[in-house]
Structure 1
């Protein structure tokens, strides 16, 4: 969800640049707002709260609130039932969504939701561009989502790094996304340990783990399995207290390695190199963005054992994710990871 909101913020930027006098509002889940904080291309952030899902009356009142705003154009990049209903009940003259996605009657302008990427932008970017490109007449479309940090926000983390024994002037800092958003999107622990041990072989690097306080047990388990030399490189307790804090920390990191998810999208929006490991049941082509093989590199089991994916449906991979993850040994991509590190450290 965090990645969705960050990537789709690119729509707001392009529309605001094309129509500087227009009001551009962005409807997002309340917990995702840190990735659009300080964004100069968004006039108003409208929050979708959990209570709207739990209570039909609350949701109906929210629909009326949206309708009273009398939008001229509503664009739905999510194509879920809730977003479709919001689009439909907005009453906007132009309601833009995907062809054959979401609630069809919600949209009076339907754009392609193609399945094969046409560029290194990736499908997640290209599909969103499909939704608004007809509205752009003067400017060149900027496909890159961005995060907006104040100089004071960047500066406030420097003493924090120093307190943890990290000299940003002489040491490179690597963020490891050790956990996915759920267990079926998390690279197996023993494999992750091998990866971290390999990364730590590079001198003059410090390693941070991306995890929340609630995930401390899992983080400690991974740390304890690392070899003693690796542990000397890991700063385990330098984590953000919230999403905005993580963004500030990531700004000072050299690159990110690990599970696909919001952390990787944040790193890319900060123009940090990324090496991403996709879950076997997630389609890499749907979510891998700006993968040029050098600055951004993504790997998937299908890259190495395509025979496992012949004539099988996504549901089977999801249900048996542990089996397919076990087959996704780190040795498959260690050479590529080594090249990535040499190119970007």
Structure 2
């Protein structure tokens, strides 16, 4: 049996959907299990022992109808028996439909039902700690007689990556006898980034409570924004921030993160990757993101806060409908709302 899973776009999505491979491998140990993803997300699933092959949705495919058509031919040539489309957008609809697979599965949308043999309705309410993002992904495997189970996403680092990252941190005077925190200072965009002055207050609290060492998660092109947050921190806090100590690649970031006591800050890829490395997390959700879906495996080690937790009266419709109001809503989401919760987490 040959099975293809399709999950394009963000790192967090690709990492979360990787749980399907572990479940599939348990059910079909001899099957060929392949993953179609955006090429920039590969580092979070690199070395995953349950995935046999990768197909990349490149920037060229993203911007060219001709390149997309070529990709559909590549997929069809591989003669998959099953295609599971987690992404479920136009590009993946076409890839799935033209694959020729005898079993095609995706989420139910009235305008794409003819592309698939099984159209799965998303669950909207969930009492599980796993989070709806996990629950709904596992539901896609029901047509393959795989019962819902809650597998946690995992990232697989090599011994060499672990050793090299520890050496790197020691060379930059990181003391492994003192707490070390990674701060997710910036989200994937303005509408997913906690206001700079508020984030600085959060970092001040972390240092005041723990005297811990602080690393910032940012990429070189974000240096000016990260520096702005650094400058808003108290002078005492700034002394504990190792501003220029960061991973210059995604795998380097992952290797460094595994040595941290916790990742704190904007909910998103960094938080999801930390959970996959079994590193504790404290996530600050954007006001327009559905916490029920993405607060994965919430417990004492994985804590999250959302404006809706403190100001439920502001929400008269689904969170995603507030996307254009995110910046204004962020301004009402003051750090004081969750300072006690943060302090309890740090203890």
Question: When the two structures are superposed, what TM-score results if normalisation uses the length of structure 2?
Answer: 0.94
8 Å Cα contact 1:73/1:95 also seen in 2: yes
Match of 1:325 in 2: 330
Whether 1:337 and 2:342 are equivalent positions in the alignment is yes
When the two chains are superposed, the root-mean-square deviation of aligned CA atoms in Å is 1.6
Q: 1:49 to 1:101 in 2, by over 3 A?
A: farther
Whether 1:303 and 2:309 are equivalent positions in the alignment is yes
Structure 2 residues not aligned, in runs of 5+: 1-9
Q: Kindly state the Cα deviation for residue 85 of structure 1 after the two structures are TM-superposed.
A: 1.3
Match of 1:174 in 2: 181
Q: Kindly state the Cα deviation for residue 17 of structure 1 after the two structures are TM-superposed.
A: 2.5
8 Å Cα contact 1:97/1:110 also seen in 2: yes
Q: Which runs of 4+ in 1 moved over 6 A?
A: none
8 Å Cα contact 1:85/1:103 also seen in 2: no
Whether 1:228 and 2:235 are equivalent positions in the alignment is yes
How is 1:272-283 mapped onto 2 (pairs within 5 angstroms)?
272-283=279-290
How is 1:195-206 mapped onto 2 (pairs within 5 angstroms)?
195-206=202-213
Q: Distance in 2 between matches of 1:295 and 1:102?
A: 41
Whether 1:145 and 2:150 are equivalent positions in the alignment is no
Match of 1:72 in 2: 81
Q: Kindly state the Cα deviation for residue 262 of structure 1 after the two structures are TM-superposed.
A: 0.6
8 Å Cα contact 2:135/2:150 also seen in 1: no
How is 1:41-190 mapped onto 2 (pairs within 5 angstroms)?
41-100=50-109, 103-136=112-145, 141-168=149-176, 170-190=177-197
Structure 1 residues not aligned, in runs of 5+: none
Q: 1:271 to 1:16 in 2, by over 3 A?
A: same
8 Å Cα contact 1:14/1:142 also seen in 2: no
Q: Distance in 1 between matches of 2:319 and 2:158?
A: 45
Residue deviations 1:273-327 (CA, integer Å, cap 9, x gap): 11111111111112211112x1111111011011111257743x22222211000
Give 3-state SS (helix, strand or coil) of 1:208's partner: strand
Q: Name whichever of 203-212 and 98-107 sits farther off.
A: 98-107
Aligned length: 338
Q: Distance in 2 between matches of 1:33 and 1:201?
A: 37
Q: Kindly state the Cα deviation for residue 135 of structure 1 after the two structures are TM-superposed.
A: 2.8
